[in-house]
Amino acid sequence: MQAHEIAEKIRNAGVVGSGGAGFPTYVKFSSKADIFLVNGAECEPMLKVDQQLMAKYPELLIRGIELGMTATGATEGVICLKEKYKEAIAALTPLLNDHIRIHILKDVYPAGDEVITIWMATGRRVPPGAIPISIGVVVNNPLTLINVARAVDEGMPVITRTLTISGAVHKPLTVTVPIGTSMAQVLAMAGGPTIANPAYLNGGPMMGKLFDDINAPVTKTTGGLLVFPADHILIKRRTISLEHVIKVAKATCDQCSLCTDLCPRHFIGHELPPHLIVRSVIYDDTNKPSTLLSALTCSECAICEAYACPVDISPMRLNVAIKEKLRAESARYEGELYPADPMAEHRLIPSTQLVGRIAVRPYVLDAPLIEDGWEPDSVTLPLSQHIGTPAKPIVSVGDRVRSGQLIATVSPDDLGVPLHASINGHVTAVTAHAISIST
């Protein structure tokens, strides 16, 4: 099969990066690379999606890698995962060949940050502000590649999502559900909250986003629904105002620079110095413009906020606010790549220490994978579950649709992917943002 045929099938099936950003996968498959890397680190504590999917669908994962290597011209496939994912390693090992190998990552955070994964597995470093393809590497996560294999070999569109429901719930589990299923329904599958004052994170405890609409739909990029008490430190940090963050920084930052010492982007050679950004903000110091501009290269891994700072300041929150302003001004960061810190490898955070520091140890639980074909009565499918142009509906209220049927498209000239019905039923609403279907 030709590279463009593979990319076209992936696009038609609506495959996007399942790891969080939702970047259309056909674009990556249209690039040229020499290393095709699978990021199976899943370093967010509590999430159990990729490690179980790799164990359950090793053939599909290998097939997805082979297709990726064909499309990109890569001569080396590298599956990065942790030693503790023993079932996945056992399932994948017999399928390896001269061109595809496993790389065992240390059980550290943020091993799943693709820039850090590439550095750990290949020694290559992505320059600040650049993307992996600039150093000849294409990165995808396991679920994305499983979707690729299904799309190319079976013509199967992306209509389900696997996510972990964990934390303060009665029965932590990992489920595969039709896209558009409400978070409330998946929460009910896990027995509901065990606490009276639940708060919810979409994603992992370090990088997950706080949300309060429990009827929001599961999308192609939803990796986890985590439940915590509303007064948990992870929730409180996400709810305090930026003004409060700045006030605390002004009152307590002693410029110890621990946030910079432990910043993964900084220690692999990027400029990004969180302690200097904090100093610039609290003293209104813009002497060195590149300091503030380097906030654009912050990965929002939350190490500076949740682990490094001894006085509970959040340099990351400042970075997020600075990024928003700089992006509105179309600013770009163009700094150089400095030598990596000789101690870099030792500055990664052991997962066991991280879960203690962020107070989630009681919530790091098994969450077994259940895929029993459960179907909701209704789904709501957002038109924008990917980076790029939102999909445009081609169905109307009252239309009957089948699971897998194309319901919204994106012009071939635009970045984006089409959308498919995830259940059989009839269309009950078409808005500027979503299509709803009921059985």
The footprint of ligand SF4 (CB under 6 A) covers 253-259, 263-265, 272, 274-275, 278, 298-304, 308-309, 311, 313, 315-316, 319
| Residue with Cβ nearer ligand SF4 (126 or 302) | 302
3-state SS of 169-218 is: ECCCEEEEEECCCEHHHHHHHCCCECCCCEEEEECCCCCCEEECCCCCEC
Q: What minimum distance in Å lies between the beta carbon of 6 and ligand SF4? A: 33
Q: What minimum distance in Å lies between the beta carbon of 90 and ligand SF4? A: 33
The encoded tokens of residue 268 equal 């692999």
Strand partners, 245: none
How does 73-82 read in b/e, with b if 16+ C-beta sit within 10 Å? ebebbbbbbb
Give the helix/strand (H/E) hosting 409: strand 406-409
Q: What minimum distance in Å lies between the beta carbon of 338 and ligand SF4? A: 15
CA atoms of 133 and 8, how far apart (whole Å): 20
| Residue with Cβ nearer ligand SF4 (53 or 263) | 263
Number of other residues whose CB lies within 10 A of the CB of residue 173: 21
| Residue with Cβ nearer ligand SF4 (18 or 314) | 314
Phi, psi (degrees; rounded to nearest 5) at 258? -60, -35
Q: What minimum distance in Å lies between the beta carbon of 305 and ligand SF4? A: 7
Q: What minimum distance in Å lies between the beta carbon of 296 and ligand SF4? A: 11
| Residue with Cβ nearer ligand SF4 (49 or 308) | 308
| Residue with Cβ nearer ligand SF4 (178 or 315) | 315
Name the 3-class secondary structure at 430.
Answer: strand
Q: What minimum distance in Å lies between the beta carbon of 286 and ligand SF4? A: 18
- Residue position matching structure tokens 């500055």: 347
| Residue with Cβ nearer ligand SF4 (259 or 354) | 259
Whether the CB-CB separation of 114 and 120 falls below 8 Å is answered with no
